[in-house]
């Protein structure tokens, strides 16, 4: 008689192989891509129109909510993100059969990390649907301000900055080395599609990684200088870029990279191994 852990793994594996979860996950990848395309559009607005909209994914969802059928689209995106979260939780629990040893452990930890990110974005979408106007940037700033009341809290904010910066560096390396291709069904792609997905993936991961890297450094600065305004995540990153020489064009370049990531996510919706 199989043990309880093996029964649990078997149930998780069967769920991971289910067609309904695959379809919802692929739809979620499209929604994830749309969020990043909207985010890129907001960055361009900040660069050229001086928009006061928060420059992060929550700002993109608030922008979408104001459009016709925006609420419906956010509901669809949230459902997709929840499916993506479940998919990654199952990947973390079961792992890819093709992976072995330490590499398989690394992939399972990476899946757990992605599950947390997708959960965060899904919860952001739910808050937008509930009509809460506080952005992710405001929430991060308030949380950092509350933490930095004590020395231990400032250390926590600083450590969070190190983690975020490390994630940013990891994303850049992941993109430049084209490690994302191992998760794609490249054999089903034409030569042109494979070339396009490669370019979008490299540009997208590099831009997203650079943005997270700067955000992490700003968290460190916030902890050292006790400046909660710097602990606003991607929104603070965009503000810093806009204040530099040629800031408008730096923001435009960032927007192009984020848009590339959004398009890459849409490409994944068809070719990702799920």
pLDDT digits (tens, 9 = 90+) for 41-58: 888 887 777 655 555 566
- Is residue 143 located within the same domain as residue 250? yes
Expressed as residue numbers, the domain containing 112 is 1-132
- Is residue 65 located within the same domain as residue 179? no
Mean pLDDT value across residues 135-156: 64
User: pTM for this structure?
Assistant: 0.77
- Is residue 202 located within the same domain as residue 220? yes
- Is residue 68 located within the same domain as residue 115? yes
Query: So what's the pLDDT on residue 198?
Result: 95
Structurally, how many domains does the chain consist of?
A: 2
pLDDT digits (tens, 9 = 90+) for 229-238: 665 666 667 7
The last residue of a domain, from among 89, 117, 132: 132
The last residue of a domain, from among 132, 159, 186: 132
Query: So what's the pLDDT on residue 193?
Result: 94
Domain membership of residue 206 (yes or no) is yes
The last residue of a domain, from among 93, 117, 132: 132
Of residues 24 and 153, the one with the higher pLDDT is 24
- Is residue 175 located within the same domain as residue 207? yes
- Is residue 83 located within the same domain as residue 142? no
Query: So what's the pLDDT on residue 124?
Result: 83
Mean pLDDT value across residues 12-23: 66
Of residues 141 and 30, the one with the higher pLDDT is 30
- Is residue 11 located within the same domain as residue 27? yes
Domain membership of residue 167 (yes or no) is yes
- Is residue 87 located within the same domain as residue 163? no
Which percentage of the chain shows pLDDT scores above 90? 22
- Is residue 104 located within the same domain as residue 186? no
Please spell the DSSP secondary structure of the chain, one letter per residue: ---HHHHHHHHHHHHHT-HHHHHHHHHHHHHHHHHHHHHHHHHHHHHHH---S-SSHHHHHHHHHTSTTHHHHHHHHHHHHHHHHHHHHHHHHH--TT--HHHHHHHHHHHHHHHHHHHHHHHHHHHHHTT----HHHHHHHHHHHHTTSHHHHHHHHHHHHHHHHHHHHHHHHHHTTGGGGGB-GGGS-HHHHHHHHHHHHHHHHHHHHHHHHHHHHHHHHHHHT-GGG-STHHHHHHHHHTSTTHHHHHHHHHHHHHHHHHHHHHHHHHB--
Mean pLDDT value across residues 140-159: 68
Of residues 234 and 202, the one with the higher pLDDT is 202
- Is residue 140 located within the same domain as residue 35? no
pLDDT digits (tens, 9 = 90+) for 204-220: 999 999 988 888 888 78
- Is residue 140 located within the same domain as residue 253? yes
């Amino acid at each position: 008689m199989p043990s309880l852990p093996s029964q649990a793994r078997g149930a998780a594996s069967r769920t991971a192989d289910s067609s309904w979860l695959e379809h919802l996950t692929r739809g979620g990848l499209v929604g994830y891509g749309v969020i990043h395309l909207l985010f890129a559009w907001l960055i361009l607005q900040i660069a050229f129109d001086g928009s006061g909209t928060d420059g992060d994914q929550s700002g993109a969802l608030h922008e979408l909510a104001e459009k016709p059928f925006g609420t419906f689209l956010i509901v669809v995106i949230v459902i997709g993100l929840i499916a993506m979260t479940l998919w990654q939780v199952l990947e973390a629990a079961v792992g890819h059969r093709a992976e072995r040893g330490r590499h398989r452990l690394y992939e399972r930890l990476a899946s757990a990390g992605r599950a947390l990110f997708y959960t965060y974005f899904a919860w952001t979408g739910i808050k937008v649907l509930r009509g809460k106007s506080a952005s992710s940037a405001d929430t991060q700033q308030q949380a950092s301000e509350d933490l930095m009341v004590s020395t231990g809290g400032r250390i926590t904010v600083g450590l969070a900055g190190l983690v975020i910066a490390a994630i940013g560096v990891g994303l850049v390396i992941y993109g430049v080395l084209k490690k994302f291709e191992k998760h794609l069904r490249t054999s089903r792609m034409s030569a042109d599609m494979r070339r396009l997905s490669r370019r979008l993936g490299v540009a997208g991961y590099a831009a997203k990684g650079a943005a997270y890297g700067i955000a992490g450094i700003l968290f460190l600065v916030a902890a050292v200088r006790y400046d909660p305004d710097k602990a606003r995540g991607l929104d603070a990153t965009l503000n810093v870029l806009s204040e530099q020489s040629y800031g408008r064009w730096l923001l435009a370049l960032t927007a192009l990279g984020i848009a590339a990531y959004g398009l890459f996510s849409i490409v994944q919706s068809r070719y990702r191994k799920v």
